[in-house]
Amino acid sequence: MFGIGVPELILILIVGLVVFGPGKLPEIARSVGKGVREFKKATNAFSQAINAPMETPVQQQSTQPVQQQPVQTQTAAPSHQSMEASAQQAATTPNITPEAGPAPAPKPAYEAPTQESVRQQIAEQAAKKTDA
């Protein structure tokens, strides 16, 4: 391990004992051990994250039927105004069916900047500096 033999290890322990004293040496060794353990955990997690296959999120289509507004029933003979109101309601209610196809994908919350957008931002900042 690191090319350190027994004589070198004994020398390091003696120097540590002289510098830190017998009371602090076990404490220091414990904290170094915890640090090495945390470092190993972090490197393992990092290597697993890099080696994991990239998975793209799959959008699930809704299987529930679209609920439309309930139709009002009238007991009296329809008047001219009620016929116009029902015609307007039918015109404004979209005819949505599940067979219409998948819904458009939602806009992502974050879009990575492109070279062109970065150039525009730099040009805007330079213009602001020259105006000031």
For each of the chain's 132 residues, which pLDDT tens digit applies? 578 889 998 998 899 889 988 888 888 889 999 999 999 999 998 888 888 776 665 555 555 555 555 555 555 545 555 555 555 555 555 555 555 566 777 777 777 788 888 899 999 999 988 887
108 — phi, psi (to 5°)?
Answer: -65, 150
Distance from first CA to last CA of the chain, Å, rounded?
61
- Output the six-digit token pair for 12: 């390091």
Q: What pLDDT is stored for residue 42 in this prediction? A: 92
- Which one, of 30, 11, 31, 14, lies nearest residue 22 by Cα? 14
Q: What pLDDT is stored for residue 22 in this prediction? A: 85
3-class DSSP string for 62-124? CCCCCCCCCCCCCCCCCCHHHHHHHHHHHHHCCCCCHHHCCCCCCCCCCCCCCHHHHHHHHHH
Separation between Cα atoms, residue 44 and residue 53, nearest integer Å? 16
pTM for this prediction: 0.33
Q: What pLDDT is stored for residue 129 in this prediction? A: 84
Separation between Cα atoms, residue 105 and residue 8, nearest integer Å? 64
Q: What pLDDT is stored for residue 124 in this prediction? A: 92
Q: What pLDDT is stored for residue 120 in this prediction? A: 92
Residues sharing a CB contact under 8 Å with residue 103, sequence separation 6 or more, in sequence order: 61, 62
